Each structure stands twice: as C-alpha cells, then as structure tokens.
Amino acid sequence: MFIDTHCHLNDPKAFPDPGLAIARAKEAGVERMVVVGVNPEDWSRAVSLADRFEEVWAIVGWHPNYTIDYRSSLLADLQHLLAHPRVLALGEIGLDYHWDYSPRPLQFEALHEQLDLAAELQKPVVFHAREAYSDLLDVLEKRPPHSYLFHCFAGDARDVERAVGLDAYFGVDGPITYKKSDELRAVFATLPKDRIVIETDSPYMSPVPYRGKPNEPAYVKLVNQALSETLGISFDECAALTTDNAKRFFRF
C-alpha cells in the first residue's frame, strides 16, 4: 500500500471530478492521499475533499508564490482550519526564488509568521523551496527543533547535510524517474531511509512513462519503483518503508 503525501486533487481545472482520480488511486493500492491547500480559497477545497473522502487528508498553508496577497489577519482562518481533525500539517510554505510572483520580504514575513503558528499549535510543517534552500535553512536552523518535511526535495549535498541536521523528512516525486536525474537519485541514495516519503505533486511532474501528461495519485507507485531501485531495496520493502515514514511524520 502507498501514501501519496502531496497532491493537488483540489485543483478544479485538473480534477473536475476528483472522485475518479481517487478511485483509480485506490485500485493502484494508494490507501491515503494528502491534498494541499496553497492559499485561502484553496484551503477550503482541500478540507472539503478530506471531509468527503475517507482516503483523503489535507494540509493547509500559504505557498510562497501566493504571498503577494498575504495578510497576517487571515492567520486566524488558517489556525481554525489547522484544528480540523482531517488537517494533518501546515504547508506548503517556504521560499521560491525561481518565479517572481511575490516579493521576498513578503515571502519571509509569511514564512516566519506561519512557522510561529506551527510552533504554537505543534503542527508538522511541509516546505516548498525552489532555488532558496540556503536561505530557508538559515531560518530553520535559528529556530527550536520542529517536525519538517521538504516537499519535492531538490537540494545539493550541503543542503542535505543541513536538513538532516534538522532531522527533516524528504519528499520524492516524478523527477526521480527521469533519465537525466542521476544527481537527484544520487542525493536520495544518501538520505536516511527512515526520512523519505513518496508523493506525486499531481497534476504536476508526472513520472515516466506519463511525463508531459497530467499526473495523478495512482502514479505514486512509479515513484516507489524508481526509489526502490535507487535505494537498492525491493518494491514492497520500499512501499512499506515510505508508508511507515509518512504515518510517523503526519501522525496518522
């Protein structure tokens, strides 16, 4: 059985009928799917899906690319949703230097205030980091220990060393199946095995042989296959390992 620890079934354009994708995922052995809300409008769709489907759980947070609209006053809404029994963590939050969607000062303001909220509520945190690992790790290393997961991890060896020092978890998805992802596979081969979880980030980053087509949670088994080969363990052992890791991080 698998847990897709990061997907966007709440995207109405990509999944006009999310129930169909959920059914296909169940047939593929996916027992749980964690749906991510990235801004206030998205939060409600994520939680609604978690209420409707027993296989679906939610996380909610202000994604850095949407922080152009960030307002501290809405943290009360976020706090209310984090108390919902189907909401597992705060995320995905972080820093994104690839896109120019939001000024960096706003990204940092949202990051710090959400980290304070997570600490207050003792909720795990899921991060988005793109071309910003060093600055994000600088922030985290100055804070008290907390439970962190780096979604779609793509850092280098130094980033790994620092993140492992934080006892963080690492999410792996479709790119590990790509022919030219040797460096990524080499990175995951060095990570602590008890800190790796699998995800799709669907509808994005589809694994081979669906690259270039919409992704969905059923394809998480292809990520598991590539990860098992990277770690040198069996398919079933990898599935059990990553499922146990996900249950530990999300406190299922």
- pLDDT for 247 equals 98
The number of residues in the chain equals: 252
CB atoms within 10 A of CB 47: 22
Least confident piece of the model among 23-27, 69-73, 169-173, 197-201: 69-73
Beta bridge partners of residue 57, listed in sequence order: 34
Give the helix, strand, coil percentages of the chain, each rounded to 5. Answer: 50, 20, 35
* Confidence band for 224, pLDDT divided at 50, 70 and 90: very high
CA Rg value for the chain = 17
Percentage of residues in the chain with pLDDT exceeding 90? 100
User: Per-residue b/e over 88-119, b at no fewer than 16 CB within 10 Å?
Assistant: bbbbbbbbbbeeeebeeeebbebbebbbebbe
Rounded distance between C-alpha atoms, residue 1 and residue 81, angstroms: 28
* Confidence band for 250, pLDDT divided at 50, 70 and 90: very high
| Mean pLDDT of the region 31-39 | 97
- pLDDT for 142 equals 98
Q: What stretches of the chain show up as alpha helix (H) in DSSP?
A: 18-27, 40-52, 75-82, 104-121, 133-141, 157-165, 182-190, 220-231, 235-250
- pLDDT for 104 equals 97
Nearest CA to 117 among 137, 95, 139, 90?
90
CB atoms within 10 A of CB 52: 12
- pLDDT for 128 equals 98
DSSP-derived secondary structure letter, 102: S
Tokens 């795990």 belong to residue: 124
- pLDDT for 212 equals 94
Rounded distance between C-alpha atoms, residue 207 and residue 209, angstroms: 6
